[in-house]
Amino acid sequence: MLKFISLSSGSNGNCYYLGDEEFSLLIDVGIGGRTIKKRLLSFDIDVSKIDLVLVTHDHIDHIRYLGSFSEYYCKPVYATEILHKALSYHPCTTGKINSCKRFSYLNQSFTVKGVSITPFEVPHDATQTLGYFIDFKGVKFLFVTDLGAINDDLLRYAGMADNIIIESNYDIDMLIHGGYTPELKARILNDSGHLSNDQTAEVIKRIYHKGLKNIYLCHLSENNNTPQSATNCIRSILKQIGVDVERRVKVQALPRRSPFEELFDF
């Protein structure tokens, strides 16, 4: 049985699990190894059996514990040469993942135990930010956790995915009228910042296809969004294009600090 588990999602820390009995991976290690171990055990998953780690970018909420996790479990850590170079100087990872380092290349697939993984670049204010298209033995996933604008690669890979995990960071009205400083608001609104609910809905509108089964909204802001606002925005755009949301596609917001599990039967 294939499992997708969001272990944590948001600026408090990001970590996602995807795997079955034969192969499994983590995307980002923004929460502690003990927390990862405990949360996976609640789903009868042994963290030591994980095959590899994918890194999206070098912001601390995504790599805070990557160094210590790598030192303890010695799992291959995949990222581009640009991103690995940044990790080699980051205080959370410097000197800690050298023996685990594996290189991936933009828009070039690599395969491990029958699972195909393709990294692609998205706009965000990190050294480099990657999304991932994962073909897990025929079940296809898109992961994009932080980005400020829609680009062609995002649309291309999203159009091939059965299941989309995508950022829906803020409600525009809540952000504009909220208590953040003007500088922070500008950073979030920038094309290298974060996606709003409306922007995420635009992605779904542009790529929707009949094979799309699940939309998981990640990295919701604690101060400038709500799960209801984010999911309602996506459901509304789907209804506008004639999609029966209850029957055709499931839309869910991932919790920030608690795990969420979805099972997929091959």
List the structure tokens of 260: 């969420």
Q: Phi/psi of residue 34, each to 5°?
A: -65, -40
Cα dihedral sign, 184-187-189-193: negative
Whose CA is closest to 218, among 28, 80, 41, 45?
28
Q: Are 17 and 25 in contact (CB under 8 A)?
A: yes
pTM of the predicted structure, to 2 decimals: 0.96
Contact status, residue 144 vs residue 166, Cβ threshold 8 Å: yes
How far is the C-alpha of 184 from the C-alpha of 156, rounded, in Å?
30
**DSSP at 255:** P
Instruction: Please report, in tens digits, the pLDDT of each residue of the chain (266 residues total).
Output: 999 999 999 999 999 999 999 999 999 999 999 999 999 999 999 999 999 999 999 999 999 999 999 999 999 999 999 999 999 999 999 999 999 999 999 999 999 999 999 999 999 999 999 999 999 999 999 999 999 999 999 999 999 999 999 999 999 999 999 999 999 999 999 999 999 999 999 999 999 999 999 999 999 999 999 999 999 999 999 999 999 987 899 999 999 989 999 998 75
**How far, in Å, CA of 123 to CA of 112, rounded?**
27
For residue 128, which amino acid is it?
Q
Round to whole Å and give the CA distance between 172 and 156: 26
Residue type at position 84? H
**Which domains are present in the chain?**
2-264 (3.60.15.10)
